[in-house]
Amino acid sequence: MSRYPYVEKPLKGIASFSRIAEDSSQSQAAVLLMLGRQLRGDDAATVAHARAASAQRRLDVTGLKGESEFPVPKLRPSPVRLPSAARQQSLRKWHGARALTGERDLAYLDCAARLYKKPTVETAADLFELCLRHPLPLVKIAAATAYFPVSAEPGRLIKILNAGVRSRETLERDVAATALARIDPTSPALRFLTRARRVQKKRASKKRTIMLVHGTWASDAAWWQPGGDFHAFIKSLRSDLYSATDRYEWSGGYSDLARSQAAGSLKAWVDDHAEGGLDLMGHSHGANVIMLATLNGTRTGKLILLSCPVHLHKYFPDFSNCTSVYSVRVKLDLVILADRGGQRFADPRIKENVLPIWFNHGATHDRAVWTKYNVAAKVAL
């Protein structure tokens, strides 16, 4: 079980930093990642890419109803690189030497209050520097990710992300790996999270088959495979869930090339198995693999996209090759924040279902979540 509980009513604004706990740490991580996106200019770039593809009206970058739903200080992209010694000196000045131990709740609250009162690159960097010492790895990982565009010493940030990639806690690992892949895609630490797809053998087709497609870093995860908890749950709803040993899978690599190759192999799998028209349910970038496959001419039935990062200029369904499209997601998904994608679609042809859960990327393939919120009915499964 994850150390980070599902959050339905998150702490917001300065209150996010009022205590050190597993639930508040997710709010803290979201604030930090959103600050980092601003300093890199990610949201503006996402909108610009969508505009270039004439798709800006089909994109909801934050997925929030308004800034007040989860307030974050406004920052502009900055070319400034700040040395850590200056930020540590600032922390000692404002919060005392004990602040650098990272164990004082009050220091986080006071530092966040300074940032919210006076949003500058320097006050943001002070919070990043402090959060690098946070007792909970998720916050350290988010701080390292956010700090990267303005830090003069990126090497120590990469060390934190490398350590996060080795975490047994899925949320920590996925945020760290996604951030590291954006910063250093050739990092050896990432190689252990992907593997080559097995050669598939042709098998007789079944009617109305549905199949699960895993996302990045998840080729070896149990949840989507026969015997896994989510696979068993979906099979209880759809007895035609494809469960044979020659099921489709892909490397789970974090790159456009890996997803393009995966889409090509998915089309080949569908053609070899005479499974044109099957329903597909994909998680994270596995959902983008599915959509890319429809653009490559794969004829499918229903598409169910779980926690899908939105990159409209690269991944969008060909509606002529599918019967319907559903999306299921949480609010301010931390992995999507690290991925620099949009949080939700704004296209009437994609039926968005935003669960009353915040931050957790893996919640959408949790059988308990599906049961509690009746997700199967929401996606007409």
Residue 290 falls within a domain, yes or no? yes
Domain match, 278 and 133 both: no
Torsion region of 71: left, alpha or beta (phi above 0 gives left; psi -120 to 50 gives alpha): beta
Tokens 């300074």 — which residue?
114
Domain match, 187 and 220 both: no
Residue 198 falls within a domain, yes or no? no
Residue 8 falls within a domain, yes or no? no
The most distant pair of C-alpha atoms in the chain lies apart, rounded to whole Å, by: 71
Structural contact between residues 246 and 200, judged by C-beta atoms closer than 8 angstroms: yes
Domain match, 162 and 287 both: no
Of 126, 157, 191, the domain-final residue = 191
Residue 264 falls within a domain, yes or no? yes
Domain match, 174 and 248 both: no
Number of domains within the chain: 2
pTM, full prediction: 0.93
Per-residue pLDDT of the chain (381 residues; tens, 9 = 90+): 678 999 999 999 999 999 999 889 999 999 999 999 999 987 777 767 667 666 656 778 898 988 899 999 999 998 889 999 999 999 999 988 888 876 777 899 999 999 999 999 999 999 999 999 999 999 999 999 999 999 999 999 999 999 999 999 999 999 999 999 999 998 999 988 876 545 455 554 456 699 999 999 999 999 999 999 999 999 999 999 999 999 999 999 999 999 999 999 999 999 999 998 999 999 999 999 999 999 999 999 999 999 999 999 899 999 999 999 999 999 999 999 999 999 999 999 999 999 999 999 999 999 999 999 999 999 999
Domain match, 342 and 310 both: yes
- The parent domain of residue 122 ranges over 13-191
Domain match, 155 and 115 both: yes
CATH code where residue 337 lies: 3.40.50.1820
Residue 205 falls within a domain, yes or no? no
Domain match, 364 and 287 both: yes
Angle made by CA atoms 125, 131, 132, in degrees to the nearest 5: 95
Domain match, 25 and 85 both: yes
Residue 200 falls within a domain, yes or no? no
